[in-house]
Amino acid sequence: MEFSHDRSGDTLVVNASGRVDGSNASDFLESLQGMFEPGDQKIILDLGGLEYISSAGLRVLLMAAQNLDKQNKSFSICSLTEAVGDVFRISGFDQIINVFPSVADAKQG
Amino acid sequence: MTQPYRILVVDDEPDLEPLILQRMRRQIRSNEYEFVFAQNGVEALEKLNADPTIDMVLSDINMPKMDGLTLLQQLPGVDPNLRAVIISAYGDMDNIRTAMNRGAFDFVTKPIDFDDLKITIKRTLEHLAEWREALSSRDQLVALQNELSIASQLQQSILPKNPPVTEEYEVSANMEPARNVGGDFYDYFKIDEYVGLVVADVSDKGIPASMFMMSSRTALKGAAIGVREPQMVLAEVNNQLQQDNPTFMFVTLIYALFHPDSGSLTYSIAGHDPPLLLSADGTVTELPLTKGVALGIAPDVVYSQEMVNLEPGDAVVLFTDGVTEAMNADNQQFGMSRLKEVFDDRQPKSAMAANEAVFENVRKFAGDAPQSDDITCLTLRRP
């Protein structure tokens, strides 16, 4: 699991790559939330480098999304590979979390 | 000599006591169970307060003085580790739902099918034994490893073990647990002239996940009674599970209802991989997904359903992602295409043969690579 992030104004784009499964899902959530700053209003998670996400990974994404929602902040994910996109589509999580084709789309959305 | 389990039976109808003593005489004689009887909720509470060795309560709902639903509410005050099974009129969904919400472990319907009752009692007591072990381990602050092994025993204790094989249909189901992760389960049960089939995968692991698995199973079984529309059943289970779920645990599952007379299979999917149809002519098809979301995370989700007709010789394979995501030493996944190839031009001769073929091929593919997720597969075949 690797992270990098890029902040411009109140928008934070986080790149996550590697694999998220039961063994590192809680670390994933902690690292992700550790990057948020109070001024961030729009958080975009770029999963273009993500190879695999298990149900435990989906669950922590949902926790992050709900936490941000409670603070009236926007959260979206983008650039899903085909395999990861399938996981979101089949689980129905694409109906719960905003999914965009690219970072640019997510910024506009 | 181990102590028999003590079961308190609460019913105002006098017929039940001799019937239970007669049908359960073998278990009573072999010192497995001991039965205590009460005629209403008030009397039941008196007996429970006077006798802390009672393990389980089997209670009717409609009774004078105090009914079964009120009794259920009082049980945690007497002993939070008591387990209760409710006897309800067939199709009495409202009461069954209330009972489940008030913490009943399971239910049986009237007229009582004693084979079903025996299985339900056995499963409840097995669960209770695992639960007590879990509690005592927690008290001793043992390692997580141990908690996981108890969780996996809890998981095993809810799986039914006698798949039906009749002239009209065959079911075969297996769950191979990963060493540390316990989240899959399957179920099958009769509903009138239909057969309900479930394959499910709970996110997360450990005892909380096992408890969530238990609630999912019970909620589904309850919601399924008397309902012909799997999509309605899933909507109902989803609403029950998401009511009190602060940690966003969820379960993905397929619920299918098979009608042996006509061969029709209606299914609804909650965030789960679609089933495979193995046609008698040797073709393998992925059945269409239905609209829906994993259960437990969002309120008022609308589910849809699909119907497929099984001809003689056709089979349907329900599975969890432990099958398709099984990894080999080169970090490749078994995948959907390999799963389909298992049956390509190789029409299985029985449900059991189909199930065995899946496990054998996954095992062969994975080789020595460690199994990271539970593997579950259930096949329904029309002979």
Sign of the four-CA dihedral B124, B125, B128, B130: negative
Measured CB to CB, residues of chain B less than 8 Å from chain A are 181, 183, 201, 203-205, 247-250, 252, 270-274, 289, 292-294, 297-298, 301, 321, 325, 372-373
- DSSP track, A45-87: EEEEEEEEE-HHHHHHHHHHHHHHHHTT-EEEEE---HHHHHH
**Among B127-136, B143-152, B311-320, whose mean pLDDT is lowest?**
B143-152
* B199, two tokens: 């394959």
Interchain CB distance below 8 Å, B272 and A66:
no
**Domains assigned to chain B:** 5-131 (3.40.50.2300), 162-381 (3.60.40.10)
Cβ-Cβ pairs closer than 8 A, A with B, add up to 56
Q: Do residues A54 and A90 lie in contact, with contact meaning Cβ atoms separated by under 8 Å?
A: no
Residue B225 phi, psi dihedral angles, 5° rounding: -60, 125
Q: Which residues does chain A have with pLDDT short of 50?
A: none
pLDDT at site B34: 94
pLDDT at site B131: 81
User: Residue B139 — very low, low, confident or very high, per pLDDT cuts 50/70/90?
Assistant: low
How far is the C-alpha of B229 from the C-alpha of B335, rounded, in Å? Answer: 31
pLDDT at site B140: 59
Model confidence pLDDT, tens digit, residues B153-174: 778 888 998 899 999 999 999 9
Interchain CB distance below 8 Å, A96 and B271:
no
**Among B107-116, B138-147, B229-238, whose mean pLDDT is lowest?**
B138-147
Q: Is the pLDDT of residue B251 over 70?
A: yes
Interface test with A, best of B297, B301, B324 (most A CBs within 10 A): B297
For residue B301, which residues of chain A lie inside 8 Å, CB to CB? 92
The domain locations on chain A are 2-104
Comparing CB atoms, the residue among A54, A59, A95 nearest residue B248 is A59
Q: DSSP assignment, residue B13?
A: -
pLDDT at site B147: 65
> Is domain A2-104 in CATH 3.30.750.24, yes or no?
yes
Cα B161–chain centre separation: 11
Comparing CB atoms, the residue among B204, B274, B298 nearest residue A59 is B204
Interchain CB distance below 8 Å, B181 and A63:
no
Interface test with A, best of B152, B185, B234, B250 (most A CBs within 10 A): B250
Residue of B nearest to A89 (CA): B271
Q: What is the mean pLDDT of chain B?
A: 90
Q: Do residues B187 and B157 lie in contact, with contact meaning Cβ atoms separated by under 8 Å?
A: no
Residue of B25 and B136 predicted with greater confidence: B25
